[in-house]
Chain A
Amino acid sequence: MPQTRISSPLPARELAVDGLACERDERVLFSGLSLSLKPGELLLVEGQNGAGKTSLLRILCGLAEPVEGEVSWNGRAIHSQREDYAAELFYLGHLPGVKLDLSPEENLGFVRSLRNRPSREQILAALKAVGLYGYEDQPARTLSAGQRRRVALAGLCLSDAPLWILDEPFTALDKAGVAWLQDCLSSHLERGGLIVMTTHQALELGRQVRSLAL
């Protein structure tokens, strides 16, 4: 698949987590979690099902509140700069947020129009990059699970956010899709981006990956 990514360097940012604790139904999932992530680093969150991987990612995004501790972005707590932080974050959760009644082009166009407002050509190029060329006008309802996933992932091509938080991004992707996404991740790291992700897929990025076991 062709690469359409923009390759200008990203602003240097730092994600720091201090003394984070998370509970679910009175059960402590993790506590005293501290770490920091610098440009060009990828943090792989590992753990068995139910270990709190998704909960951690949602806390890092600011969607959920930790019981204790603080997440900071560039030295400031994320809840004190919600909108600035949101502008520098690309989050892909379990549910891709793809509207089944809209076409891939409309879906991607909407999400991106609230961010960096790419042109129609850029949107079509991004859809082409994820292998949805020829499907851009069909309702997402008629696409397969992997293709719906690709609609959301196409946003990565258009994103200029330094921080990517991806929850199981490889789910439902075929081999070509996996290779494309690995490429996409490597070039983001090369540009000085930060990635926090969970996956059960073996990563081959040609660089050191930090891992965090929950």
Chain B
Amino acid sequence: MSAGLMHAFVAVLRRDLLLALRRRGDSLNPLLFFVLAVTLFPLGIGPEPQRLAEVAPGVLWVAALLATLLSLDSLFRADHEDGALEQLMLMPQPLSVLVLAKILAHWLVSGLPLLLMSPLLGVVLHLPEASFGALFLGLALGTPVLSLVGAIGAALTVGLRRGGMLLSLLVLPLYVPVLIFGAGAVAQAGMGLSYAGQLAMLGALLALSLSLAPLACAAALRVTEN
């Protein structure tokens, strides 16, 4: 990346983080949802550690996935509504790079807190000690994929008045592999088996979405703003 492009990337990242900081209430929503959803499970299915440990990998991953989904709709919507998106599209930098900065900001605000909170929620669900590493590493690789892939859906639906439902329908099927490999890794680790394969798959998904999602987002935004 040239110095000018790097500067623009950092400028967009800084602006989005600053905006998230100014609207702390909205920014904390995904984390709040994640914590609430997970802590309700012991109340719903009973406090037996054995049973909770069994469902913990799936519950943690599904909750993280839905929390991310919840925050996606706002990714481009505010910029679309106040005209800032038009201005971004007319910047002398490639739109895909500016979009990548926005996605990174989204992950830092919504994905990273989930990642940091997950060990604590693992304790709540009596996750076996051997699984914590797999949970943390899996979420570290998986939540950026959720942000990247979700951004494509957000870009496609930003022009629609009620795009939330369509966004979920578009994005959920693409989240399935992340869920399977992510929860799979945690479950494998709990049984004392190697989970390197699952993590490798998540890593591959991350590399794929990191390289393609910004381009797809930029193209989708140009279509929806047309």
Give every chain B residue within 8 A of A65 (Cβ-Cβ).
226
A86 touches B22 (CB 8 A): no
Produce 1/0 per residue, A54-94, CB < 8 A to B: 00000001111100000000000000000110110101011
Question: Which A residues fall within an 8 A CB radius of B?
Answer: 61-65, 83-84, 86-87, 89, 91, 93-102, 106, 110-111, 113-115, 117, 139
Is B173 part of the binding interface, using a Cβ–Cβ cutoff of 8 Å?
A: no
A31, chain B: closest CB distance, angstroms: 18
Q: Which of A83, A96, A106, A111 contacts B92 (CB 8 A)?
A: A83
B92 touches A84 (CB 8 A): yes
Q: Which of A83, A97, A102, A113 contacts B11 (CB 8 A)?
A: A113
B86 touches A91 (CB 8 A): yes
Is B94 part of the binding interface, using a Cβ–Cβ cutoff of 8 Å?
A: yes
Produce 1/0 per residue, B26-49, CB < 8 A to A: 000000000000000000000000
Is B89 part of the binding interface, using a Cβ–Cβ cutoff of 8 Å?
A: yes
Q: Which residue of B lies closest to A110 (CB)?
A: B15
A135, chain B: closest CB distance, angstroms: 17
Q: Which of B11, B82, B93 contacts A98 (CB 8 A)?
A: B82
B84 touches A89 (CB 8 A): no
User: In the complex, what distance in Å separates the CA atom of A64 from the CA atom of B89?
Assistant: 11
B91 touches A86 (CB 8 A): yes
A-B contact pairs, 18 of them (CB 8 A): A63-B225, A65-B226, A83-B93, A86-B91, A87-B92, A91-B90, A95-B81, A97-B82, A97-B85, A98-B82, A98-B84, A99-B84, A102-B15, A102-B18, A106-B15, A114-B8, A115-B92, A117-B7
B83 touches A114 (CB 8 A): no
Q: State the main secondary structure of chain A at its contact with B.
A: loop
Q: Which residue of B lies closest to A148 (CB)?
A: B82
Q: Which residue of A lies closest to B81 (CB)?
A: A95
Produce 1/0 per residue, B4-31, CB < 8 A to A: 0001100110010011001100000000
Question: Which B residues fall within an 8 A CB radius of A?
Answer: 7-8, 11-12, 15, 18-19, 22-23, 81-87, 89-94, 98, 225-226
Q: Which residue of A lies closest to B14 (CB)?
A: A110
Give every chain B residue within 8 A of A63 (Cβ-Cβ).
86, 89-90, 225-226
Most A-side CB within 10 Å, residue of B18, B22, B92: B92
User: In the complex, what distance in Å separates the CA atom of A41 from the CA atom of B91?
Assistant: 24
A23, chain B: closest CB distance, angstroms: 12
Give every chain A residue within 8 A of B226 (Cβ-Cβ).
63-65
User: In the complex, what distance in Å separates the CA atom of A98 from the CA atom of B86?
Assistant: 11
B23 touches A101 (CB 8 A): yes
Q: Which of A62, A101, A114, A115 contacts B22 (CB 8 A)?
A: A101
Give every chain A residue within 8 A of B15 (Cβ-Cβ).
99, 102, 106, 110
Q: Which of A84, A111, A117 contacts B87 (CB 8 A)?
A: A111
User: In the complex, what distance in Å separates the CA atom of A61 from the CA atom of B87?
Assistant: 11
A86 touches B92 (CB 8 A): yes
User: In the complex, what distance in Å separates the CA atom of A99 from the CA atom of B23?
Assistant: 12
Q: A106-B18, A114-B91 are in contact. List 11 more A-B contacts (CB 8 A).
A: A61-B90, A62-B90, A63-B89, A91-B87, A95-B86, A97-B87, A98-B82, A100-B82, A102-B19, A114-B12, A114-B98
Give every chain B residue within 8 A of A89 (Cβ-Cβ).
90
Q: Which residue of B lies closest to A113 (CB)?
A: B11
A93 touches B11 (CB 8 A): no
Give every chain A residue within 8 A of B81 (Cβ-Cβ).
95
User: In the complex, what distance in Å separates the CA atom of A62 from the CA atom of B89?
Assistant: 9
Give every chain B residue within 8 A of A97 (Cβ-Cβ).
82-87
Q: Which of B7, B18, B86, B90 contacts A113 (CB 8 A)?
A: B7
Most A-side CB within 10 Å, residue of B7, B83, B87: B87
Give every chain B residue within 8 A of A113 (Cβ-Cβ).
7-8, 11
